[in-house]
Homo-oligomer: A and B are copies of this chain.
Amino acid sequence: MNAPAQLKEPKSRPFASECAVCLLFELKICPAVSDTNHHDCPGRRLQPISEHRIPARRMIYRQRDLPDEVPFICSGWAASVVTLLDGRRQILAFLLPGDIVSAAPLFGVAGDCSVEAITEVQYRWYRGIELRAALMSNSALLEKASRLLVHRELRARQLAVDLGRRSAEERIARLILGLRERLAERGMARDHTIEFPLRQHHVADATGLTSVHVSKVLIDFRRRGLIEVSDRSLTILDPVEFQRIANMR
């Protein structure tokens, strides 16, 4: 809906729109970081239905919206979140640039979680059927897509283990380390500092805690010299100890 021109300005984020056009970043078809043979990518034929740019804290879509279209993050951070009747919220995943929001609509499955922007977000809608057709047409793509699905399941399971069996400290440390890893995959992390646009209530919703308690744990992390947070960026000061906290107890 927005003019494509609007999407052109890079806004100081690394690679954004290009990789999304090129089918799926997560499928690693287009190695978006290194812009090599970008134009051979089979996904390039796919045209998005529409393009949007929305400010932070806005909803990209709601639980039970449009079953057949697939939103795709071009730049910014978003979260896919489930909200219970009484307002309790659980964030199931943070969506980074290049992430497909949900695989469910691709196969006509309900999905049932909403997506909210954390920072300003650029995203595009694709038609599920077209995406699926593109996948099915190419067996290498398909292979990667399946692997991607399996990985998504594994990440969801890992989250379940964390929520079921780990302490607040462990959960928060693991969240941070997990984000760092994912950002590093995208070339968005320098050594031990990462962009960190999350509010404490995001951390709380992702770890199954309250923001009050998240605050206390983070303060304690800082007091112990483990991490440092300033100006929407986070650096891990004591990687060894932090890793230790994250893995066990």
Q: Which residues of A contact B (CB under 8 A)?
A: 82, 84-86, 88-90, 92, 103-104, 106-113, 136, 139, 142-143, 145-147, 149-154, 156-157, 159-161, 163-166, 207-208, 247-249
Contacts and interface: CB of A to CB of B under 8 A. Distances in A.
A69 B187 CA distance: 34
Contact of A147 (B92, B109, B147): B109
A248 B139 contact: no
A109 B151 contact: yes
A165 B249 contact: no
Contacts of A165: 84, 88-90, 208
Given A84-B165, A107-B147, A156-B157, 11 more contacts: A88-B166, A89-B165, A103-B150, A103-B153, A104-B154, A112-B154, A136-B139, A146-B146, A153-B153, A157-B159, A164-B207
Count copies of this chain in the complex: 2
A142 B139 CA distance: 11
A15 to B, nearest CB: 26
Contacts of A85: 247-248
Nearest to A91: B164
A152 B104 CA distance: 11
Given A89-B165, A165-B84, A149 B153 contact: yes
A175 B62 CA distance: 26
A157 B149 CA distance: 13
Contacts of A151: 109
A107 B247 contact: no
A160 B92 contact: yes
Contacts of A143: 107
A152 B153 contact: yes
A165 B86 CA distance: 11
A85 B248 CA distance: 7
A111 B160 CA distance: 14
A125 to B, nearest CB: 19
Q: Which 4 A-B pairs have the closest CB atoms?
A: A164-B208, A156-B156, A163-B163, A163-B164
